[in-house]
Amino acid sequence: MFDHRDTLEDLNSHLPLKDKIISAHQVIKQNYDSIARIAVTLYDPQTHVLKTYVDSSGEDKPLQNYQASLDKAHSLKAILKKGRPRVVNNMVTFEKGEQEHTKRIGRQGYAASYTMPMFHRGEFFGFLFFNSYETDVFTEKVLKELDVFGHLISLMIINELSTVKVMDAALKTTRKITHLRDPETGSHLDRMSRYSRLIAQSLVGKYQLNDEYIEYVFMFSPLHDIGKIAIPDSILLKPGPLDDTERNIMNTHARKGREMIDDIVTNFNLDGIPHLDILRNIAEYHHEALNGSGYPAGKSKSEIPLEARIVAVADVFDALTSRRPYKEAWSNDEAFDLLKQLAGEKLDVDCVHALIDNRSDIEQIQQQFKEDIYG
Protein backbone atom coordinates (compact mmCIF):
# COMPACT_ATOMS: atom_id res chain seq x y z
CA MET A 1 0.00 0.00 0.00
CA PHE A 2 1.11 3.52 -0.61
CA ASP A 3 -0.53 6.90 -0.32
CA HIS A 4 -1.46 8.68 -3.47
CA ARG A 5 -2.64 12.24 -3.42
CA ASP A 6 -5.39 12.84 -6.00
CA THR A 7 -3.85 15.51 -8.20
CA LEU A 8 -7.30 16.81 -9.12
CA GLU A 9 -8.74 16.74 -5.60
CA ASP A 10 -9.68 20.42 -5.81
CA LEU A 11 -12.41 19.39 -8.22
CA ASN A 12 -14.20 17.65 -5.32
CA SER A 13 -14.69 20.88 -3.44
CA HIS A 14 -17.19 23.70 -3.65
CA LEU A 15 -15.04 26.02 -5.68
CA PRO A 16 -16.14 28.49 -8.33
CA LEU A 17 -15.66 27.15 -11.85
CA LYS A 18 -12.78 29.53 -12.46
CA ASP A 19 -10.81 28.10 -9.53
CA LYS A 20 -11.45 24.56 -10.71
CA ILE A 21 -10.18 25.40 -14.17
CA ILE A 22 -7.12 27.13 -12.71
CA SER A 23 -6.53 24.01 -10.65
CA ALA A 24 -6.83 21.73 -13.71
CA HIS A 25 -4.48 24.12 -15.52
CA GLN A 26 -1.85 23.74 -12.78
CA VAL A 27 -1.98 19.98 -13.17
CA ILE A 28 -1.59 20.24 -16.95
CA LYS A 29 1.37 22.58 -16.43
CA GLN A 30 3.18 19.97 -14.35
CA ASN A 31 3.54 17.97 -17.56
CA TYR A 32 3.34 20.68 -20.19
CA ASP A 33 4.78 23.84 -18.75
CA SER A 34 4.40 25.83 -21.95
CA ILE A 35 0.60 25.78 -21.90
CA ALA A 36 0.08 29.26 -20.58
CA ARG A 37 -3.62 29.77 -20.97
CA ILE A 38 -6.91 27.93 -20.85
CA ALA A 39 -9.93 29.98 -21.85
CA VAL A 40 -13.62 29.30 -22.31
CA THR A 41 -16.06 31.24 -24.46
CA LEU A 42 -19.78 30.51 -24.38
CA TYR A 43 -22.10 30.69 -27.36
CA ASP A 44 -25.57 32.22 -27.22
CA PRO A 45 -27.61 30.53 -29.97
CA GLN A 46 -30.23 33.30 -29.92
CA THR A 47 -27.86 36.13 -30.75
CA HIS A 48 -25.02 34.09 -32.34
CA VAL A 49 -22.65 35.86 -29.95
CA LEU A 50 -19.57 34.29 -28.40
CA LYS A 51 -18.66 35.66 -24.98
CA THR A 52 -15.55 35.17 -22.90
CA TYR A 53 -16.50 33.24 -19.76
CA VAL A 54 -13.52 31.96 -17.78
CA ASP A 55 -9.84 32.33 -18.36
CA SER A 56 -6.92 30.89 -16.40
CA SER A 57 -4.18 32.98 -17.94
CA GLY A 58 -2.95 34.41 -14.65
CA GLU A 59 -1.23 37.75 -15.17
CA ASP A 60 -1.85 37.81 -18.92
CA LYS A 61 -5.32 39.01 -19.67
CA PRO A 62 -5.54 39.22 -23.43
CA LEU A 63 -9.31 38.88 -23.51
CA GLN A 64 -11.64 39.94 -20.73
CA ASN A 65 -15.29 40.91 -21.07
CA TYR A 66 -15.05 40.36 -24.78
CA GLN A 67 -17.87 39.52 -27.19
CA ALA A 68 -17.86 38.72 -30.88
CA SER A 69 -20.35 37.45 -33.39
CA LEU A 70 -19.62 33.87 -34.42
CA ASP A 71 -20.69 34.76 -37.95
CA LYS A 72 -17.74 37.15 -38.20
CA ALA A 73 -15.18 34.88 -36.54
CA HIS A 74 -14.36 32.96 -39.70
CA SER A 75 -11.69 30.65 -38.35
CA LEU A 76 -13.88 29.62 -35.43
CA LYS A 77 -16.84 29.11 -37.71
CA ALA A 78 -14.72 26.85 -39.86
CA ILE A 79 -13.97 24.71 -36.80
CA LEU A 80 -17.69 24.22 -36.23
CA LYS A 81 -18.34 23.42 -39.85
CA LYS A 82 -15.77 20.66 -39.76
CA GLY A 83 -16.92 19.65 -36.28
CA ARG A 84 -13.31 19.03 -35.28
CA PRO A 85 -10.82 20.80 -33.05
CA ARG A 86 -8.18 23.06 -34.59
CA VAL A 87 -4.46 22.91 -34.02
CA VAL A 88 -2.29 25.93 -34.82
CA ASN A 89 1.35 25.22 -34.10
CA ASN A 90 2.91 28.49 -35.22
CA MET A 91 1.71 32.03 -34.85
CA VAL A 92 1.41 33.03 -38.51
CA THR A 93 -2.34 32.52 -38.40
CA PHE A 94 -2.70 34.86 -35.45
CA GLU A 95 -0.64 37.60 -37.10
CA LYS A 96 -2.82 37.53 -40.17
CA GLY A 97 -6.02 37.66 -38.13
CA GLU A 98 -8.39 40.49 -38.83
CA GLN A 99 -10.62 40.08 -35.83
CA GLU A 100 -9.76 42.11 -32.75
CA HIS A 101 -9.67 38.99 -30.53
CA THR A 102 -7.23 37.23 -32.86
CA LYS A 103 -4.95 40.28 -32.89
CA ARG A 104 -4.97 40.48 -29.12
CA ILE A 105 -4.13 36.80 -28.83
CA GLY A 106 -1.26 37.38 -31.28
CA ARG A 107 0.01 40.47 -29.48
CA GLN A 108 0.10 38.57 -26.21
CA GLY A 109 2.83 36.46 -27.77
CA TYR A 110 1.01 33.15 -27.98
CA ALA A 111 2.64 31.06 -30.64
CA ALA A 112 0.39 28.04 -30.73
CA SER A 113 -3.18 27.17 -29.89
CA TYR A 114 -5.51 24.24 -29.62
CA THR A 115 -9.22 25.03 -29.95
CA MET A 116 -11.95 22.55 -29.03
CA PRO A 117 -15.62 23.10 -29.80
CA MET A 118 -17.79 21.97 -26.87
CA PHE A 119 -21.11 20.17 -27.27
CA HIS A 120 -23.94 19.18 -24.93
CA ARG A 121 -26.49 16.67 -26.23
CA GLY A 122 -25.23 17.39 -29.70
CA GLU A 123 -25.67 21.15 -29.37
CA PHE A 124 -22.66 23.43 -29.69
CA PHE A 125 -22.33 25.65 -26.62
CA GLY A 126 -18.85 27.15 -26.73
CA PHE A 127 -15.13 26.89 -27.40
CA LEU A 128 -12.27 25.86 -25.18
CA PHE A 129 -8.84 27.35 -25.98
CA PHE A 130 -5.40 26.15 -24.92
CA ASN A 131 -2.63 28.63 -25.75
CA SER A 132 1.15 28.29 -25.60
CA TYR A 133 4.07 30.70 -25.94
CA GLU A 134 6.07 28.05 -27.79
CA THR A 135 5.55 26.74 -31.29
CA ASP A 136 4.93 23.09 -32.14
CA VAL A 137 3.85 22.03 -28.66
CA PHE A 138 0.57 20.48 -29.71
CA THR A 139 1.79 17.08 -30.87
CA GLU A 140 -0.46 14.01 -31.12
CA LYS A 141 0.77 12.83 -27.73
CA VAL A 142 0.01 16.13 -26.01
CA LEU A 143 -3.34 16.45 -27.72
CA LYS A 144 -4.41 13.02 -26.49
CA GLU A 145 -3.95 14.18 -22.93
CA LEU A 146 -5.43 17.60 -23.51
CA ASP A 147 -8.56 16.04 -24.99
CA VAL A 148 -9.23 14.29 -21.69
CA PHE A 149 -8.83 17.56 -19.79
CA GLY A 150 -10.90 19.34 -22.41
CA HIS A 151 -13.83 16.99 -21.92
CA LEU A 152 -13.50 17.21 -18.16
CA ILE A 153 -13.63 21.00 -18.30
CA SER A 154 -16.54 20.87 -20.71
CA LEU A 155 -18.48 18.62 -18.28
CA MET A 156 -17.73 20.98 -15.40
CA ILE A 157 -19.17 23.84 -17.42
CA ILE A 158 -22.27 21.85 -18.40
CA ASN A 159 -22.77 20.89 -14.77
CA GLU A 160 -22.51 24.48 -13.62
CA LEU A 161 -24.84 25.80 -16.30
CA SER A 162 -27.47 23.12 -15.64
CA THR A 163 -27.54 23.85 -11.92
CA VAL A 164 -28.20 27.47 -12.77
CA LYS A 165 -30.98 26.39 -15.12
CA VAL A 166 -32.59 24.26 -12.41
CA MET A 167 -32.38 27.24 -10.08
CA ASP A 168 -33.99 29.47 -12.68
CA ALA A 169 -36.76 26.94 -13.37
CA ALA A 170 -37.38 26.48 -9.64
CA LEU A 171 -37.75 30.21 -9.18
CA LYS A 172 -40.04 30.62 -12.19
CA THR A 173 -42.21 27.72 -11.07
CA THR A 174 -42.43 29.12 -7.57
CA ARG A 175 -43.67 32.35 -9.03
CA LYS A 176 -46.37 30.66 -11.09
CA ILE A 177 -47.55 28.31 -8.37
CA THR A 178 -48.08 31.07 -5.84
CA HIS A 179 -50.46 32.39 -8.49
CA LEU A 180 -49.78 35.91 -7.47
CA ARG A 181 -49.14 38.42 -10.15
CA ASP A 182 -46.26 40.77 -10.39
CA PRO A 183 -46.78 44.23 -11.82
CA GLU A 184 -43.16 44.12 -12.97
CA THR A 185 -43.56 42.81 -16.49
CA GLY A 186 -41.19 40.68 -18.48
CA SER A 187 -39.87 43.64 -20.40
CA HIS A 188 -38.96 45.43 -17.15
CA LEU A 189 -36.86 42.42 -16.19
CA ASP A 190 -35.26 42.22 -19.65
CA ARG A 191 -34.26 45.88 -19.47
CA MET A 192 -33.13 46.05 -15.87
CA SER A 193 -30.95 42.95 -16.21
CA ARG A 194 -29.24 44.57 -19.19
CA TYR A 195 -28.80 47.87 -17.35
CA SER A 196 -27.28 45.85 -14.51
CA ARG A 197 -24.85 44.20 -16.90
CA LEU A 198 -23.94 47.53 -18.47
CA ILE A 199 -23.19 48.97 -15.03
CA ALA A 200 -21.16 45.91 -13.97
CA GLN A 201 -19.12 46.10 -17.18
CA SER A 202 -18.19 49.70 -16.53
CA LEU A 203 -16.92 48.76 -13.05
CA VAL A 204 -14.56 46.05 -14.29
CA GLY A 205 -11.44 48.18 -13.86
CA LYS A 206 -12.31 49.59 -10.47
CA TYR A 207 -13.30 46.31 -8.80
CA GLN A 208 -11.40 43.78 -10.96
CA LEU A 209 -14.63 42.05 -11.90
CA ASN A 210 -14.44 38.92 -14.01
CA ASP A 211 -16.79 37.74 -16.75
CA GLU A 212 -18.37 35.15 -14.50
CA TYR A 213 -19.40 37.81 -11.97
CA ILE A 214 -20.93 39.99 -14.67
CA GLU A 215 -22.83 37.04 -16.12
CA TYR A 216 -24.26 36.13 -12.71
CA VAL A 217 -25.33 39.70 -12.01
CA PHE A 218 -27.08 39.65 -15.40
CA MET A 219 -28.71 36.27 -14.71
CA PHE A 220 -29.79 36.93 -11.14
CA SER A 221 -30.88 40.57 -11.31
CA PRO A 222 -34.35 39.75 -12.73
CA LEU A 223 -35.05 37.94 -9.47
CA HIS A 224 -34.52 41.01 -7.29
CA ASP A 225 -38.22 41.46 -6.50
CA ILE A 226 -39.17 37.81 -6.13
CA GLY A 227 -40.31 38.64 -2.59
CA LYS A 228 -43.13 40.79 -3.98
CA ILE A 229 -45.20 37.65 -4.54
CA ALA A 230 -45.72 37.63 -0.78
CA ILE A 231 -47.25 41.12 -0.87
CA PRO A 232 -51.10 41.30 -1.07
CA ASP A 233 -52.72 42.67 -4.23
CA SER A 234 -54.39 45.47 -2.31
CA ILE A 235 -50.93 46.92 -1.66
CA LEU A 236 -48.91 45.77 -4.66
CA LEU A 237 -51.48 46.96 -7.21
CA LYS A 238 -52.70 50.03 -5.33
CA PRO A 239 -53.11 52.85 -7.84
CA GLY A 240 -52.09 55.55 -5.36
CA PRO A 241 -49.50 56.22 -2.66
CA LEU A 242 -49.08 53.76 0.21
CA ASP A 243 -49.86 54.67 3.82
CA ASP A 244 -47.35 53.87 6.58
CA THR A 245 -48.77 50.43 7.37
CA GLU A 246 -48.89 49.47 3.71
CA ARG A 247 -45.39 50.80 3.16
CA ASN A 248 -44.05 48.70 6.02
CA ILE A 249 -45.63 45.59 4.56
CA MET A 250 -44.31 46.50 1.11
CA ASN A 251 -40.78 46.85 2.44
CA THR A 252 -40.81 43.29 3.72
CA HIS A 253 -40.43 42.12 0.09
CA ALA A 254 -36.64 42.38 0.34
CA ARG A 255 -36.26 40.06 3.35
CA LYS A 256 -39.05 37.80 2.04
CA GLY A 257 -37.16 37.45 -1.23
CA ARG A 258 -34.02 36.38 0.56
CA GLU A 259 -36.00 33.86 2.64
CA MET A 260 -37.67 32.43 -0.44
CA ILE A 261 -34.33 31.96 -2.15
CA ASP A 262 -32.97 30.19 0.92
CA ASP A 263 -36.07 27.93 0.97
CA ILE A 264 -35.74 27.09 -2.70
CA VAL A 265 -32.06 26.31 -2.31
CA THR A 266 -32.85 23.93 0.55
CA ASN A 267 -35.85 22.27 -1.08
CA PHE A 268 -34.25 21.78 -4.48
CA ASN A 269 -30.92 20.83 -2.97
CA LEU A 270 -29.12 23.57 -4.87
CA ASP A 271 -26.52 24.25 -2.22
CA GLY A 272 -23.58 23.71 -4.53
CA ILE A 273 -24.63 26.43 -6.91
CA PRO A 274 -21.81 28.93 -7.31
CA HIS A 275 -22.17 32.58 -6.47
CA LEU A 276 -25.48 32.06 -4.73
CA ASP A 277 -24.57 34.95 -2.47
CA ILE A 278 -24.83 37.28 -5.44
CA LEU A 279 -28.49 36.26 -5.74
CA ARG A 280 -29.12 36.49 -2.00
CA ASN A 281 -27.54 39.94 -1.82
CA ILE A 282 -29.50 41.22 -4.80
CA ALA A 283 -32.82 40.06 -3.35
CA GLU A 284 -32.16 41.25 0.18
CA TYR A 285 -30.22 44.48 -0.28
CA HIS A 286 -31.41 46.15 -3.50
CA HIS A 287 -33.24 48.83 -1.47
CA GLU A 288 -30.37 49.74 0.83
CA ALA A 289 -29.11 53.34 0.50
CA LEU A 290 -25.54 54.65 0.81
CA ASN A 291 -26.48 57.00 3.68
CA GLY A 292 -27.99 54.15 5.68
CA SER A 293 -31.61 55.22 5.16
CA GLY A 294 -32.58 52.18 3.10
CA TYR A 295 -34.11 48.85 4.07
CA PRO A 296 -34.16 46.12 5.33
CA ALA A 297 -30.81 46.37 7.16
CA GLY A 298 -29.95 50.08 6.98
CA LYS A 299 -26.49 49.21 5.69
CA SER A 300 -24.33 52.06 4.44
CA LYS A 301 -21.73 52.62 1.72
CA SER A 302 -19.42 49.65 1.13
CA GLU A 303 -21.38 47.53 3.61
CA ILE A 304 -23.88 47.24 0.79
CA PRO A 305 -22.69 44.43 -1.49
CA LEU A 306 -21.63 45.69 -4.92
CA GLU A 307 -24.22 43.61 -6.77
CA ALA A 308 -26.97 45.21 -4.68
CA ARG A 309 -25.66 48.72 -5.45
CA ILE A 310 -25.62 47.85 -9.15
CA VAL A 311 -29.14 46.44 -9.19
CA ALA A 312 -30.49 49.36 -7.10
CA VAL A 313 -29.53 51.83 -9.82
CA ALA A 314 -30.82 49.63 -12.66
CA ASP A 315 -34.08 49.05 -10.77
CA VAL A 316 -34.74 52.67 -9.84
CA PHE A 317 -33.95 53.86 -13.35
CA ASP A 318 -36.30 51.35 -14.93
CA ALA A 319 -39.02 51.94 -12.32
CA LEU A 320 -38.86 55.67 -13.06
CA THR A 321 -38.96 55.29 -16.84
CA SER A 322 -41.81 52.72 -16.71
CA ARG A 323 -45.47 53.12 -15.93
CA ARG A 324 -46.50 51.57 -12.62
CA PRO A 325 -49.99 51.17 -11.11
CA TYR A 326 -49.04 54.12 -8.90
CA LYS A 327 -47.19 56.40 -11.36
CA GLU A 328 -46.71 57.42 -14.97
CA ALA A 329 -43.47 56.81 -16.90
CA TRP A 330 -40.81 59.51 -16.69
CA SER A 331 -38.58 60.60 -19.59
CA ASN A 332 -34.93 59.54 -19.59
CA ASP A 333 -33.88 63.13 -18.85
CA GLU A 334 -36.17 63.36 -15.84
CA ALA A 335 -34.92 60.00 -14.58
CA PHE A 336 -31.25 60.99 -15.11
CA ASP A 337 -31.85 64.18 -13.12
CA LEU A 338 -33.20 62.23 -10.16
CA LEU A 339 -30.40 59.66 -10.38
CA LYS A 340 -27.86 62.49 -10.26
CA GLN A 341 -29.56 63.88 -7.13
CA LEU A 342 -29.53 60.47 -5.47
CA ALA A 343 -25.93 59.70 -6.45
CA GLY A 344 -23.62 59.69 -3.44
CA GLU A 345 -26.52 60.10 -1.05
CA LYS A 346 -28.48 56.95 -1.73
CA LEU A 347 -27.15 55.45 -4.95
CA ASP A 348 -23.59 54.51 -5.87
CA VAL A 349 -21.96 57.32 -7.87
CA ASP A 350 -20.06 55.05 -10.29
CA CYS A 351 -23.16 52.97 -10.96
CA VAL A 352 -25.18 56.09 -11.73
CA HIS A 353 -22.48 57.38 -14.07
CA ALA A 354 -22.33 54.05 -15.85
CA LEU A 355 -25.91 54.67 -16.97
CA ILE A 356 -25.77 58.41 -17.58
CA ASP A 357 -22.57 58.12 -19.64
CA ASN A 358 -23.95 55.33 -21.82
CA ARG A 359 -27.15 56.85 -23.04
CA SER A 360 -27.04 55.30 -26.49
CA ASP A 361 -26.71 51.79 -25.02
CA ILE A 362 -29.66 52.51 -22.77
CA GLU A 363 -31.79 53.76 -25.63
CA GLN A 364 -30.90 50.68 -27.60
CA ILE A 365 -32.04 48.45 -24.72
CA GLN A 366 -35.26 50.45 -24.41
CA GLN A 367 -35.83 50.13 -28.13
CA GLN A 368 -35.25 46.39 -28.10
CA PHE A 369 -37.35 45.66 -25.00
CA LYS A 370 -40.31 47.99 -25.35
CA GLU A 371 -43.05 48.22 -22.77
CA ASP A 372 -45.88 45.78 -23.35
CA ILE A 373 -49.55 46.62 -22.74
CA TYR A 374 -49.24 46.00 -19.02
CA GLY A 375 -46.83 48.90 -18.67
Q: How far is the CB of 347 from ligand SIN (least distance, A)?
A: 6
CB atoms within 10 A of CB 365: 19
In the bound state with ligand SIN, the residue whose beta carbon lies nearer, of 7 and 293, is 293
Q: Which does 115 bind (CB under 5 to 8 A by kind): ligand SIN, Fe ion, ligand C2E, none?
A: ligand SIN
Residue closer to Fe ion by CB (options 225, 348) is 225
Phi and psi for 70 in degrees, rounded to 5? -60, -35
Q: Of 319, 329, 350, 353, which lies in the binding site for ligand C2E, with binding defined by CB under 6 A?
A: 319
Distance CA 100, CA 86 (A): 19
Whole-number Cα distances in Å, 114 to 38, 86, 127, 131, 139: 10, 6, 10, 7, 10
- Is 339 a residue that touches ligand SIN (CB under 6 A)? no
Structure letter (DSSP) for residue 217: H
Q: Smallest gap, in angstroms, from Cβ of residue 299 to Fe ion? A: 15
Least Å distance, CB 237 to ligand SIN, is 20
Q: How many helices (H) and strands (E) does the chain have?
A: 16, 6
CB count, 10 Å around CB of 161? 15
315 is a site residue for Fe ion (CB under 5 A): yes
Q: What share of the chain is helix, strand, coil (3-state, %, to 5)?
A: 55, 10, 35
CA dihedral sign, ordered 358, 363, 368, 372: positive
Handedness of CA 184, 189, 190, 191 (dihedral sign): positive
Nearest to Fe ion of 46, 234 (CB atom): 234
Q: Which of 175, 238, 340, 353 binds ligand C2E (CB under 6 A)?
A: 238
Decide whether 307 or 315 has the Cβ nearer to Fe ion: 315
Q: Binding ligand SIN by CB under 6 A: which of 283, 289, 355, 362? A: 289
Q: How far is CA 344 from CA 207, 221, 306, 349, in A?
A: 18, 22, 14, 5
How far apart are CB 203 and ligand C2E at their closest, in Å? Answer: 21
Q: Distance of CA 285 to CAs 58, 279, 280, Å? A: 32, 10, 8
Judged by CB under 6 A, the chain residues 250 through 269 that form the site for ligand C2E are 250
Q: Of how many residues is the chain composed?
A: 375
CA 8 to chain CA centroid, Å, is 27
Strand spans (E) along the chain: 35-44, 49-55, 67-69, 86-88, 112-120, 123-132
Q: Pick from ligand SIN, Fe ion, ligand C2E, none: which does 289 bind, CB < 5 to 8 A by kind?
A: ligand SIN
Interacting residue with ligand C2E among 323, 327, 340, 353 (CB under 6 A):
327
Q: Between residues 163 and 307, which has the closer beta carbon with respect to ligand SIN?
A: 307
Using CB under 6 A as the binding rule, the residues of this chain from 94 to 133 that contact ligand SIN are: 101-102, 105, 113, 115, 129
* Total number of residues that touch ligand C2E (CB under 6 A): 14
Footprint (CB under 6 A) of ligand C2E, residues 278-317 = 287, 315-316
Residue nearer to ligand C2E on the CB measure, 87 or 242: 242
Q: In the complex, which residues of this chain contact ligand SIN (CB under 6 A)?
A: 39, 63, 75-76, 101-102, 105, 113, 115, 129, 287-289, 294, 312, 316, 342, 346-347
